[in-house]
């Protein structure tokens, strides 16, 4: 009797789990709620005990590891080396660069006590590492022979945002890489700024299958302490733009504040030229928000932790044969390389219904599902289901290994093409302010001439709720007059409502 009761409890628990698996809102109806459910139910994150500080679960962290591997390979070819600098920054270092400290002071979390003893000087928890790194750079650089110095670190950052935190997209603690480079000449530094910008574009488009707008930020939106900032921006289905990564030309602003100087080949002292650049785990949230559908997450194959899930359809009289074939197929497919990495394949042999398993893996966004039942086994075939289109096709089992790479590449490309079509169709060109306001209200990106005056941008935000995203690199639009104030404009900018 006890065994029956135990089994009934297990079945009730399993039934409840199967009922709770799906997302309960449509993405087009309530993007915010859809997003929250998607990242939680797909086991990407869990909320931490401190608001705005999330737990990144293994499924999402493995995506970040793929980004790290890709990015490290690229920057090391550029001569960049990885290092690590302290989390805690003395207050006096923050105060060395005036514009920088003014820009970040509202977001800095401070450590004031060690145990019960008050510290002699407040220690900031890094919101970015320019100040702590450049303290060392000033000691290491003496001669032109010490340049260029190119360091990067992978670390966590704390910015005490007071806006509504959204996991990945706007959090108080997040993971990122930050590169900090020093050069003898301005030309070298500015060349790298564009190289890094292009690398970030590659990360988004080649890994995440997310198209971006690459360009220069406005004076109002540039990094605090930079001469100028370059960025990549994209657009969510809800019409909100979001910044993906930034590359900053710091000029000599920090080198003069921190005395990062060197003797040139002629023996004269010069201040160095510097850059900083970073991409964060926000990029994971961007990818989820752009590609996901009402069933959950859709992962581009290039960053998917699992490429293929095999779901055996199990009945008592054929279970052993189906499981054996499923595991044999998994071993065979696991030998295949996709973009220089072995394909990750699993067999889901858990004691759940096939429907539950389909929903579970659709929610997690696995690119390919292979269904294999006793009838399939008899006909020496299996069904392949694509996560991006839900298209089903039957293939002979002995041919599956020949088609999976093709299907994975098709999924990757289709996701990029679909997202690019959306962002291109969302861009409106105008130099008329009434038209500008109309399309901003409709959650479009508006491309318009702009004077690049910070006061004018503040007025535009007050009147429309929008701000500049960036000005494209090949900004060859004709000279015009600012869409808002009528002053002469030499550049056209993308505008939009944004996170």
- Hey, CA dihedral for 450, 453, 454, 456, is it positive or negative? negative
Query: CA separation (Å) from 400 to 304, 397, 479?
Result: 19, 5, 56
Q: What is the mean pLDDT of residues 210-238?
A: 97
- Whole-angstrom Cα distance, residue 283 to residue 367? 19
- Whole-angstrom Cα distance, residue 382 to residue 379? 9
* Model confidence band, residue 161 (pLDDT cutoffs 50, 70, 90): confident
Q: What is the mean pLDDT of residues 320-333?
A: 97
**Range with lowest mean pLDDT among 102-111, 141-150, 445-454:** 102-111
Q: Is 457 left (phi over 0), alpha (psi -120 to 50) or beta?
A: alpha
- Whole-angstrom Cα distance, residue 480 to residue 101? 35
Q: Which pLDDT belongs to residue 429?
A: 96
Q: Which pLDDT belongs to residue 98?
A: 67
Tokens encoding 19: 């009922």
- Distance between first and last Cα of the chain: 58
Q: Edge-to-edge strands of the sheet including 471-472?
A: 81-82, 149-158, 173-183, 273-280, 241-251, 228-235, 213-216, 471-472
pLDDT digits (tens, 9 = 90+) for 428-440: 999 999 999 999 9
491, 470 contact by CB (below 8 A)? no
* Model confidence band, residue 17 (pLDDT cutoffs 50, 70, 90): low
Helix (H) or strand (E) holding 11: helix 2-19
213, 470 contact by CB (below 8 A)? yes
Q: Which pLDDT belongs to residue 233?
A: 98
Assess whether pLDDT exceeds 60 at residue 36.
yes
Q: What is the mean pLDDT of residues 323-330?
A: 98
Q: Which pLDDT belongs to residue 166?
A: 94
Assess whether pLDDT exceeds 70 at residue 11.
no
Q: What is the mean pLDDT of residues 356-372?
A: 98
Assess whether pLDDT exceeds 50 at residue 5.
no
37, 47 contact by CB (below 8 A)? no
Q: Which residue has the higher pLDDT, 209 or 96?
A: 209
| DSSP summary character for residue 108 | -
Q: What is the mean pLDDT of residues 305-329?
A: 96
Residue 133's nearest CA partner among 219, 262, 254, 314 is: 254
Q: Which pLDDT belongs to residue 103?
A: 73
Domains, the chain: 40-291 (3.30.930.10), 308-403 (3.40.50.800), 427-496 (3.30.110.30)
Q: Which residue has the higher pLDDT, 4 or 249?
A: 249
State the average pLDDT for the chain: 94
Q: Other CB atoms closer than 10 Å to residue 10's CB: what's the count?
A: 11
Q: Which residue has the higher pLDDT, 31 or 18?
A: 31
pLDDT digits (tens, 9 = 90+) for 43-84: 999 999 999 999 999 999 999 999 999 999 999 999 999 999
Assess whether pLDDT exceeds 60 at residue 2.
no
Assess whether pLDDT exceeds 70 at residue 294.
yes
153, 83 contact by CB (below 8 A)? yes
Q: What is the mean pLDDT of residues 245-255?
A: 97
153, 276 contact by CB (below 8 A)? no
* Model confidence band, residue 19 (pLDDT cutoffs 50, 70, 90): low
According to DSSP H, which parts of 259-389 are helical? 282-291, 319-333, 354-364, 374-378
Assess whether pLDDT exceeds 90 at residue 104.
no
Strand partners, 472: 215
Assess whether pLDDT exceeds 90 at residue 217.
yes
Assess whether pLDDT exceeds 70 at residue 285.
yes
272, 339 contact by CB (below 8 A)? no
Assess whether pLDDT exceeds 50 at residue 397.
yes
Q: Which pTM was predicted?
A: 0.94
154, 80 contact by CB (below 8 A)? no
Strands 308-312, 368-372: parallel, antiparallel or unpaired by DSSP? parallel
296, 42 contact by CB (below 8 A)? yes
């Amino acid at each position: 009797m006890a065994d029956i009761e135990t089994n009934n409890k297990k079945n009730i628990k399993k039934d409840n789990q199967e009922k709770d698996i799906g997302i309960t809102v449509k993405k087009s109806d309530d993007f915010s709620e859809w997003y929250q459910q998607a990242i939680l139910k797909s086991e990407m994150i869990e909320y931490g005990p401190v608001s705005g500080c999330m737990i990144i679960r293994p499924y999402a962290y493995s995506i970040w590891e793929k980004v790290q591997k890709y990015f490290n390979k690229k920057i090391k070819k550029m001569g960049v080396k990885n290092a690590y600098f302290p989390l805690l920054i003395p207050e006096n270092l923050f105060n060395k660069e005036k514009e920088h400290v003014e820009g970040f002071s509202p977001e800095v979390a401070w450590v004031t006590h060690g145990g019960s003893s008050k510290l002699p000087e407040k220690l900031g928890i890094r919101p970015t590492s320019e100040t702590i790194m450049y303290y060392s750079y000033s000691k290491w650089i003496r001669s032109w022979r010490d340049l260029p110095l190119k360091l990067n670190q992978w670390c966590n950052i704390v910015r005490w945002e007071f806006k509504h935190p959204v996991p990945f997209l706007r959090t108080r603690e997040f993971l990122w890489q930050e590169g900090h480079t020093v050069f003898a000449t301005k030309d070298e530094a500015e060349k790298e700024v564009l190289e890094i910008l292009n690398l970030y574009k590659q990360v988004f488009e080649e890994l995440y299958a997310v198209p971006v707008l690459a360009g220069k930020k406005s004076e109002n939106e540039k990094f605090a302490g930079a001469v100028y900032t370059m960025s990549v921006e994209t657009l969510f289905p809800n019409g909100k733009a979001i910044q993906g990564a930034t590359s900053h030309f710091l000029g000599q602003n920090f080198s003069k504040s921190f005395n990062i100087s060197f003797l040139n080949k002629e023996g004269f002292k010069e201040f160095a030229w510097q850059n900083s650049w970073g991409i964060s785990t926000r990029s994971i949230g961007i990818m989820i928000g752009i590609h996901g559908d009402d069933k959950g997450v859709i992962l581009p194959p290039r960053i998917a932790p699992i490429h293929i899930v095999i779901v055996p359809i199990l009945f008592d009289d054929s279970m052993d044969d189906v499981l054996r074939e499923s595991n044999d197929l998994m071993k065979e497919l696991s030998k295949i390389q996709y973009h220089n990495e072995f394909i990750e394949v699993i067999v889901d042999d858990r004691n759940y219904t096939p429907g539950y398993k389909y929903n579970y893996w659709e929610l997690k966004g696995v690119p390919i599902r292979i269904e294999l039942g006793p009838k399939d086994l008899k006909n020496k075939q299996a069904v392949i289901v694509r996560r991006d289109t839900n298209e089903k096709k039957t293939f002979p089992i002995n041919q599956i290994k020949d088609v999976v790479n093709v299907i994975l590449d098709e999924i990757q490309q289709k996701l990029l093409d679909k997202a690019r079509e959306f962002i291109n169709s969302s861009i409106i060109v105008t130099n008329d302010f009434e038209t500008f306001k109309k399309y901003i209200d409709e959650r479009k990106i508006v491309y318009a001439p702009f004077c690049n005056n910070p006061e004018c941008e503040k007025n535009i935000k007050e009147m429309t709720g929008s701000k500049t995203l960036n000005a494209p690199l090949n900004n060859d639009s004709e000279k015009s007059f600012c869409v808002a104030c009528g002053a002469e404009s030499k550049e056209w900018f993308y505008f939009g409502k944004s996170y």
